[in-house]
Structure 1
Amino acid sequence: MSVVAKLHRTTWSTLKQLQQNGRKARFSASATTSRNDLFTHEQRRQREAVGRVDKIEVRYMGQPEDVTLVMNKHISTPYNCAQHLSEGICKRSALALIDGSVPWDMHRPLPESCTLQLLHFFVAEPHLVNKAFWRSCSFMLGAALSRIFKTEARLQLHSFPSPNIKSGSFVHDVVLGTHTWEPTKAEMRAVSAEMVKLAARDIPIERLEVEQELAQEMFKDSRYKNAQLPSIAQQNQGRVTLYRLDDHIDISRGPMVGSTRFLGKCTIIGAHKLSNKGATDAFYRFQGVALPSGFMLNHVAYSLLEQRAQKLNPARLPNEPFEDQQQLQLS
């Protein structure tokens, strides 16, 4: 074969690969746009379906003083309640507590009269808000990975297990189109930087509960999400809870903190290969550690947290069945 013929063959092969990658990238962008359009349409439909606006009484309990607020049923959120109190309370409140026992998203409408506490990271018992923070970090990690990986990596988000602060790391499991990838420090720094960018944008984290059929349509391009939905919906009266961050949508039972701004210092420490998946793909577990914004920790202490987060997180593996009600919503 002549040099010219070889060059022509190589050029054609490269062009064909670029075209294939371009089609995949356009399909991915189209799927993301479609998913967001469906989310926004359903969100609007549910708001319009409220009909006549009834009033409810929300008894706020906390600083600077207890007060009863008259709010709109199925419309007003804990964040709206905080707006009636002070700008400082709005900014620091990461999670709500309804009737003294029910954790509630800051942007989730209130369905009836209730008592309301607004939780932040300096409360006496921070367990609930810490757990919501850890879950939100996993959710944000999925968004960061979707943005940072190139099309040819064939990244597919799988799930993130229920948060466990004692494990030392938050987690997101994915499938990559390789059996042999070894993450570098530079690659992990890039993912960490993407997390910090999301935090700096102060993006609200939205919650929406939808019927299984709509969820299936939204995730029809996602092999693993689509397969998980029937089991999830079966345990939740045919409905699925979704969360959105900018254009990133995922499945989770929640609750989560109200905004990405609550993420402070953050390190995505590594990715462990869990197992092969077919002839070319493999499961990888990404792990990270983070502090809420406003928390200060010296370099030595934070380094110890990073070292601990490097160990493989023992949470449920992605190829294990969802047997537990608490696992069915993936987080």
Structure 2
Amino acid sequence: MSAATKLHKTSWCALRQLQQYRTKATLSGSSASIAKRNDLFNQEQRRQRDAVGRIDKIEVRYLGLPEDVTLVMNSNISTPYNCAQHLSEGHCKRSALALIDGSVPWDMHRPLQESCTLQLLNFHVSEPHPVNKAFWRTCSFMLGAALNRAFKPEAGLQLHSFPGPNIKSGSFVHDIVLQTQNWQPTKEEMRAISAEMVKLAAQDLRIERLDVQQDLAQEMFKDSKYKSEQLPSIAQQTQGRVTLYRLGDHIDISRGPMVGSTSFLGKCTISAAHKVAEEGAAGAFYRIQGVALPSGFQLNHVAFGVLEERSKKPYHPPRPKTKGKDKRHSDPRSTSSS
């Protein structure tokens, strides 16, 4: 073997080792950020539960099948899902969202604060708009988790935000930034992201909500450039509070509400990725779009194909400015239609 060949081989091995080290370092840093974010979420969740103190009883008047009934529950502890557990297993499985006092959409796993009326909503109710919006919003949230799972570290994926649900648009959406300005996804890549969505649905992950102070949210997302930029504007609109949601180990910002579990996602296709703008010298801003049906809904292949084609059309939601930033750095909640 010549000296030149040996040098080339040595240099190639060193390059491979360096690439592997960088990949491991990136994975380690990303995993550490996710773990810390979840630790802070768990700590605050426990703190809020411990702060309840004296447990007051409330009366929850359930309105619906098989009959209206009054339940005595615990203030700031009992959730609509706990109420459903007093009714039947079917109520637990079918109920995607709650409606409080006839007008306030409420997460299934969010504690009730005072006496109220309660309706449990599924996708077959006579007025499905609130639960459909919650489903669409949840699909965007799940898409963020799926994208995190699907992309390799070297892609430089950063989650930006997801606009509020607009069912008439024909697609749910998540905005991201990648360290490339010319990504044109193949059909195989889009199928891979769709498959991650289906995996999340199969895991039946509970979707948790937590309201926190801005300073804690800033600590949780200090390693996320875009979330950090969005938080001051969000907190300004909500008296210093920020609403977070979690499924598995994925945590993001959203005003909610969302459906109670990933299992409510049925047939799903991630159909399009549109480049929206360049971001810096090497990166670009992309909008990922998809369409889905709630679990249990049946639609023939041709009809669903029509929905898939419609969902590919570029979606242009209103994107107001965040303080000191351009329109690409919009607050994900300020673009929400709910």
Give the TM-score of the pair, scaled to structure 1: 0.97
Could you tell me which of 41, 63, 67 is aligned with 2:65? 63
Distance in 2 of aligned mates of 1:24 and 1:104: 38
Distance in 2 of aligned mates of 1:258 and 1:250: 16
Alignment of 1:5 with 2:3, yes or no, is no
**TM-fit CA distance, 1:14:** 2.4
Q: How does 1:16-165 map to 2 (within 5 A)?
A: 16-165=18-167
Is the deviation greater in 318-327 or in 10-19? 318-327
CA contact (8 A) 2:254 2:333 kept: no
Matched position secondary structure for 1:89: helix
**TM-fit CA distance, 1:21:** 1.5
Counterpart of 2:185? 183
Give the aligned length: 331
Matched position secondary structure for 2:327: coil
Letter in 1 for 2:25: R
CA contact (8 A) 2:96 2:264 kept: yes
CA contact (8 A) 1:232 1:328 kept: no
Distance in 2 of aligned mates of 1:95 and 1:161: 20
Counterpart of 1:320? 327
**TM-fit CA distance, 1:6:** 2.4
**TM-fit CA distance, 1:17:** 2.0
Specify whether residues 36 and 182 from structure 1 end up closer, same or farther in structure 2 by C-alpha distance, changes over 3 A only. Answer: same
Query: Where does the alignment leave 5 or more consecutive residues of structure 2 unmatched?
Result: 321-325
Letter in 1 for 2:144: G
**TM-fit CA distance, 1:292:** 0.3
Distance in 1 of aligned mates of 2:147 and 2:102: 36
Distance in 2 of aligned mates of 1:7 and 1:296: 57
**TM-fit CA distance, 1:9:** 2.1
Could you tell me which of 197, 200, 219 is aligned with 2:199? 197
CA contact (8 A) 2:161 2:332 kept: no
Counterpart of 1:168? 170
Q: State the Cα RMSD in Å.
A: 1.7
Specify whether residues 310 and 283 from structure 1 end up closer, same or farther in structure 2 by C-alpha distance, changes over 3 A only. Answer: same
Deviations 1:278-328 (A, max 9, x none): 111101111000000011111111000000001111223595278899616
CA contact (8 A) 2:164 2:335 kept: no
Alignment of 1:265 with 2:262, yes or no, is no
CA contact (8 A) 1:78 1:96 kept: yes
Counterpart of 2:247? 245
**TM-fit CA distance, 1:2:** 1.8
CA contact (8 A) 1:273 1:284 kept: yes
Counterpart of 2:323? none
Letter in 1 for 2:266: G
CA contact (8 A) 1:56 1:72 kept: yes
Flag as ranges the 4+ runs of structure 1 deviating above 3 A: 316-319, 321-326, 328-331
Is the deviation greater in 78-87 or in 17-26? 17-26
Letter in 1 for 2:291: V
**TM-fit CA distance, 1:22:** 1.1
Alignment of 1:298 with 2:335, yes or no, is no
Matched position secondary structure for 2:71: strand
Matched position secondary structure for 1:195: helix
Counterpart of 1:283? 285
Specify whether residues 153 and 22 from structure 1 end up closer, same or farther in structure 2 by C-alpha distance, changes over 3 A only. Answer: same
Distance in 1 of aligned mates of 2:146 and 2:188: 15
Letter in 2 for 1:77: T
Identity of aligned residues (%): 69
